A and B are shown apart, each in its own frame.
Chain A
């Protein structure tokens, strides 16, 4: 042991001392991070208590560590729970890596703002490197900034056992951090403390970065955030136990109350009675909770001889392929079989195998090699910012897990399901759901996933209700808890009372009855009570869908997605093929109704094999829709020619997607006129544009004289207006077309169109939502183009309304502040106006 030297720490602030034991925060009071002192500040600039290097400044600016040349580390943490302020009220005056002198100003803070917005201003100065110290001041009293407060013994570091055994590192599964602010000081301290209990060398990994898991500062320097995927690795005697314990700790939130399941009473008290998410598949069900948890697999990095490991991998791949084939053959529906076919293809992917083989040749185990290559590829898929590829990442993770279990000899446990089960999971993978007895499952609720996730597809295919985007705390519900899943409202109600259950039953009966009534009246016109006729048309992508739509009472087709002619093939469709398809659809609709054909709407997010495109870093802001078509005018020219061939068969309309500038419309019209001239047509079809880009909604008055109609694509308009991907697992619930900003753009578009005598349709998902009908009518929309099965319901919704009422509600809700408020107001409107019995509240 080196001769102890003394290092004096200076008071970082003026203020009133408080004994550490009294600090109302168990982590600080329990000295889990380190021992030191607590000051209730009366000055508002944090100054360096010692000379050294700033080794870590939290991005939110409320905490900072200084390491002296002798290795003494001192953490300063301003306030309690100030991490929640996300940097507001703090101004950093130093950067990580910067050398500072004792007494130098480090962070300025707005004491009044913090006092009003955070739990406390109590500021901690802690010796986190663990050296013992003598206090030069009492435990209470006033301090002046710069005054010597602690004498630290240097060179008496307790240190850790450096003789960690050399061996293979054991890796945990990736863990998604549940902590709302990542591993900030408090959870990081709990984690480091737990890691210190093991003799193994332990690391925490995030992407390429890794940190010594026993060092609080190193963990904080990883700057993790909620949802980050981290891994624990350990090397040494108790490595497996360490990985297991630390994995559990991370999953449970490292002592942060939000997700910690340990104090059950607390969780029960905090769990609201109703959990909210987004509807992924409509309907409702009453049942009991069954949690589905993916088992944590232990993977050893190094393996036996490469040939042995290679054999293990190929054996597992063969078995997995056979299992998938069996699942395909026995799948309950087309959609599910498709998913497993895709999984089989992934298994045969050569690049995946190459990566794994290369790792095995380096001496890694089959399991490690396979896990690494699937995870790396999945991460790459995710990083491309493309919803479809991100979905494939989920598939890859699923199939990766399947093979991994086979390599490790972990057997799938078939879940014993009780009757009336509501499945709860972070994310349900196709493999997890494949073996389930769907007769016993009444619905799904998941934390991850959006409207395009597998659970949504599966649920819709089985006709079961499902909600996604649920809060994490749902995962702490006990199995067997009685719940009422109301997917229509996006709610999961815990321990429903008899009244709610009765209401559900009554509502179901009413729904059934209403559905039958709607079907019976499907062919009647959709007129409001005060006599306004509304065109209810269909969104279709094939001739058979068109026929079905007309049967269900559609007033024509408001959106024909012409992409179906182009996707999933190696060559562009021939002219004859296109003409035959458009003509068949036009004949089905007939001359009395509209057919609105949207020209090819593809781009980097849904590429075509025969239209080579450079990959784009952000396809949704790239060459999509009309932009791509004008880039390759021949494609558009050929499509116009084919569409024009059916102009005598129906009331033909052509619609251009993703228009941003008037010039795009002019160019397209020019091409259309040229093609019409070639065909000798005197009568041109109507030409309109989609309103998807906020720019055209704002410029609608300039564009209106040049178009025959507008059709609002609410999905894209919402995503571009709110700057939120509607498939983003965490943002999906906020990317709501009912946002007043979107409503105002719709109102603007309608107003501009009507001034010039043009009509406006809505063909986005919003038009298919019953709740939106009064709103859209009130905003002045002339046509609703809806998904085929919902035509009777939307027509019936129109018949229940008075246009005059709709105008009032539409104007009112446009002034509300959020989509949630708009939905609430519309729900009230619906209760008062439509369900007949006025609710006289309060």
Chain B
């Protein structure tokens, strides 16, 4: 009897004690145009990417030296802000809100 109750009790408690940390395995390329990806040195050079702050895409690269600024500009990236450790903000303009 005790075991049964204890089990029920554990089950009831679990949601609190074990926070579900489902890491979304983000597709590193999703949302970036092929031209931008190429200008960043290709898929292999891209560690992660994340749209941030309404107008930016935050990318983490393996090798910053492989970035082609000219090609980025041609691909529609209005500005680039290097932040060290291979992290760049690409200013791509306002995204549709909602």
CB–CB B16/A24 < 8 A: no
Contact B55 A111, beta carbon cutoff 8 Å: no
Taking residues whose C-beta sits less than 8 angstroms from the other chain, chain A's interface range is: 35 or more
Verify A832–B9 contact, CB threshold 8 A. yes
The complex places the Cα of A80 from the Cα of B87 at a distance, in Å, of 22
Per-residue contact bits, chain B 1-33, to A (CB 8 Å; 1 contact, 0 not): 010111011011101110000000000000000
Assembly CA distance A40 to B58 (angstroms)? 14
CB distance from A145 to the nearest CB of B (A): 13
Of the listed stretches A3-11, A700-708, A823-831, chain B binds A823-831
Of the residues B17, B79, B87, contact of A812 by C-beta under 8 Å = B17
In the complex, whether B94 has a CB less than 8 A from a CB of chain A is yes
A819-842 vs B, Cβ < 8 Å mask (1 yes, 0 no): 001001100110111000011111
Encoded as 1 (CB less than 8 Å from any A CB) or 0, chain B from 25 to 66 comes to 000000000000000000000000000111110100000000
Q: Which residues of A contact B91 (CB under 8 A)?
A: 15-16, 40, 42
A530 to chain B, nearest CB (A): 10
Whether, in the assembled complex, B81 has its beta carbon less than 8 Å from a beta carbon of chain A, the answer is yes
Judge whether A115 and B9 touch: CB under 8 Å. no
Report the Cα distance A43→B91, complex, angstroms.
12
Contact between A816 and B6, CB atoms less than 8 A apart: no
Closest chain A residue to B80, Cβ basis: A42
B67 to chain A, nearest CB (A): 14
| A841→B81 contact, CB < 8 A | no
Q: Is B97 an interface residue (CB 8 A)?
A: yes
Stretch in A116-124, A247-255, A432-440, A689-697 touching the partner: A116-124
Proximity string of chain A (96-117) to chain B, C-beta cutoff 8 Å, 1 when within and 0 when not:
0000000000000001101110
| Contact assessment for B9 and A42 in the assembled complex, using a CB-CB cutoff below 8 Å | no
Q: Which residue of B lies closest to A838 (CB)?
A: B8
B12 to A832, Cβ gap below 8 A?
Answer: yes
Question: Among B6, B17, B54, B87, which residue has the most Cβ atoms of chain A within 10 A?
Answer: B54
A808 beta carbon closer than 8 Å to chain B: yes
- CB of A448 closer than 8 Å to a CB of B: no
A24-B54, A112-B89, A121-B55 given as contacts; is B79 within 8 A of A142 (CB)? Answer: yes
- Find the A residue at minimum CB distance from B16: A825
Cα A142 to Cα B54 in complex, Å, equals 18
Contacts of B2 in A (CB 8 A): 802, 804
Query: Which A residues between 18 and 40 are near B, CB-CB below 8 angstroms?
Result: 18, 22, 24, 40
A841–B6 contact, CB under 8 A?
no
Is B12 a contact of A821 with CB atoms below 8 Å? Answer: no
A825 B13 Cβ-Cβ under 8 A: yes
Measured in the bound complex, the distance between the Cα atoms of B14 and A118 in whole Å is: 33
Task: Give Cα distance in the complex from A505 to B9, angstroms.
Answer: 27
Residue of A nearest to B87 (CB): A112
Interface range, B side: 20 to 34
A840 touches B89 (CB 8 A): no
Chain B residues near A825: list those with CB within 8 A: 13, 16-17
Given A15-B79, A111-B81, A111-B83, A839 and B12 contact (CB-CB distance below 8 Å): yes
B22 to A: closest C-beta gap in Å: 15
Q: How far apart are the CA atoms of A111 and B81 in the complex, in Å?
A: 9
Across-interface contacts of A809 in B (CB, < 8 A): 9
Contact status B9-A824, CB under 8 Å: no
Indicate which residue in A116, A829, A842 contacts B9 across the interface (CB closer than 8 Å).
A829
Q: Cβ of B4: which chain A residues have Cβ within 8 Å of it? A: 838
A116 to B50, CA, bound (A): 10
> Is B71 in contact with chain A by the CB < 8 A criterion?
no
Residues of B within 8 A of A816 (CB): 16-17
B74 located at the interface, meaning its Cβ lies under 8 Å from any Cβ of chain A in the complex: no
Contact B11 A119 (CB under 8 A): no
Q: Within 8 Å CB of A821, what residues of B?
A: 16
Q: With the chains together, A80 CA to B52 CA distance in Å?
A: 13
Interchain CB contact under 8 A, A842 and B15: yes
B13 touches A812 (CB 8 A): yes
For residue A688, CB closer than 8 A to chain B, the reply is: no
The residue that B5 contacts in the complex, of A24, A116, A833, with Cβ under 8 A, is A833
Contact check, B78 vs A142: say whether CB atoms are below 8 A apart.
Answer: yes
Closest to B55 in A: A40
Q: How far is the CA of A828 from the CA of B14 in the complex (A)?
A: 10
**Bound Cα distance from A831 to B8, whole angstroms:** 10
Check if A839 sits within 8 Å of B8, measured CB to CB.
Answer: yes
Verify if A41 is at the interface (C-beta below 8 Å from B): yes
For residue A805, CB closer than 8 A to chain B, the reply is yes
The answer to whether B53 and A118 touch across the interface, beta carbons within 8 angstroms, is: yes
Q: Given the complex, which residues of B lie within 8 Å of A24, measured CB to CB?
A: 54, 94, 97
Q: Are B54 and A122 closer than 8 Å at their CB atoms?
A: yes
When C-beta atoms are compared, the residue in chain B nearest to A828 turns out to be: B12
Cβ of B97: which chain A residues have Cβ within 8 Å of it? 24
B58–A41 CB distance below 8 A: no
Chain A's closest residue to B79 (CB) is A16
Q: How far is the CA of A842 from the CA of B87 in the complex (A)?
A: 41
Asked if B8 contacts A832 (CB within 8 A), the reply is: yes
In whole angstroms, what is the CA distance A731 to B80 when docked?
Answer: 44
**Which A residues are CB-close (under 8 A) to B80?**
42
Q: CB distance B16 to A41 under 8 Å?
A: no
B56 interface neighbour in A22, A121, A828, Cβ under 8 Å: A121
Shortest Cβ distance from A42 into B: residue: B81
- Give the CA-CA distance A816 to B18 in the complex, in Å: 10
Partner pick for A838 among B5, B53, B55, CB 8 A cutoff: B5
Q: Are A122 and B55 in contact (CB under 8 A)?
A: yes
Bound complex: CA A840 to CA B66 (Å): 55
Chain B contacts for A41, CB-based, 8 A: 81
Closest to A17 in B: B78
Give the docked Cα–Cα distance between A695 and B4 (Å).
41
Shortest CB distance A747–B (Å):
18
A527 to chain B minimum Cβ distance, whole angstroms, is: 18
CA separation between A703 and B80, bound complex, in Å?
64
Measured between alpha carbons, how far is A44 from B81 in the docked complex, in Å?
A: 9
Given the complex, which residues of A lie within 8 Å of B12, measured CB to CB? 828-829, 831-832, 838-839, 841
A115 touching B16, Cβ below 8 Å: no
A842 to B97 alpha-carbon distance, docked (Å)? 35
A805 touches B6 (CB 8 A): yes
Minimum CB–CB distance for B95 against chain A, Å: 10
For A18, what are the chain B residues with a Cβ–Cβ distance below 8 Å?
55, 94
Residues of B within 8 A of A (CB): 2, 4-6, 8-9, 11-13, 15-17, 52-56, 58, 78-81, 83, 87, 89, 91, 94, 97
Q: A80-B54, A808-B6, A824-B16 are in contact. List 6 more A-B contacts (CB 8 A).
A: A18-B55, A41-B81, A42-B80, A115-B58, A122-B55, A828-B13
Which 4 A-B pairs give the minimum distances between C-beta atoms? A838-B8, A115-B53, A42-B81, A16-B79
16 A–B contacts, CB within 8 A, in A order: A24-B54, A40-B56, A40-B78, A112-B87, A115-B56, A121-B55, A142-B79, A802-B2, A805-B9, A821-B16, A828-B16, A829-B9, A832-B9, A833-B9, A838-B4, A838-B8
